[in-house]
């Protein structure tokens, strides 16, 4: 079980409970269950862009031609979710 979204405004007890659930279910592999709490696509894109900008500002180089979905996936929140196979 995974929780995605901004947990910062949630009660500390609830965050601790969520962390414990994630730890206890981390090795489960039959079912992927993701719960989105305080989650929004725009906010997620903003967080991913900020993380990428901080990495580049810290001395990393990333030419625009190398900015691809697989690179963004490394910093995207739903990275915990498996890539669907159709």
What's the token pair of residue 6? 């901004």
**Phi and psi dihedrals of 52, rounded to 5?**
-65, -45
pLDDT at residue number 12? 97
Judged against a pLDDT cut of 80, whether residue 74 lies above it is answered with: no
* E strand segments, 5-82: 34-36
List pLDDT tens digits, range 43-65: 777 877 888 888 788 877 777 77
Collapse the DSSP code of 2 into the 3-class scheme (helix H, G, I; strand E, B; otherwise coil) and give the result.
strand
Contact 4, 79 (CB under 8 A): no
Instruction: Dump pLDDT digits (tens) for 24-43.
Output: 999 998 888 989 888 887 87
Q: Which two tokens stand for residue 24?
A: 């206890």
**Residue of 72, 77, 83 whose CA lies nearest to 44:** 77
Domain ranges of the chain: 1-39, 40-81
């Amino acid at each position: 079980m995974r929780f995605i979204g901004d947990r910062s405004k949630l009660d500390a007890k609830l965050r601790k409970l969520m962390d414990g659930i994630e730890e206890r279910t981390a090795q489960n592999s039959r079912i992927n269950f993701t719960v989105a709490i305080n989650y929004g696509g725009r906010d997620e894109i903003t967080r991913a862009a900020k993380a990428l900008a901080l990495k580049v500002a810290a001395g990393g180089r990333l030419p625009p031609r190398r900015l691809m979905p697989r690179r963004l996936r490394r910093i995207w929140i739903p990275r915990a979710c498996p890539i669907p196979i159709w």
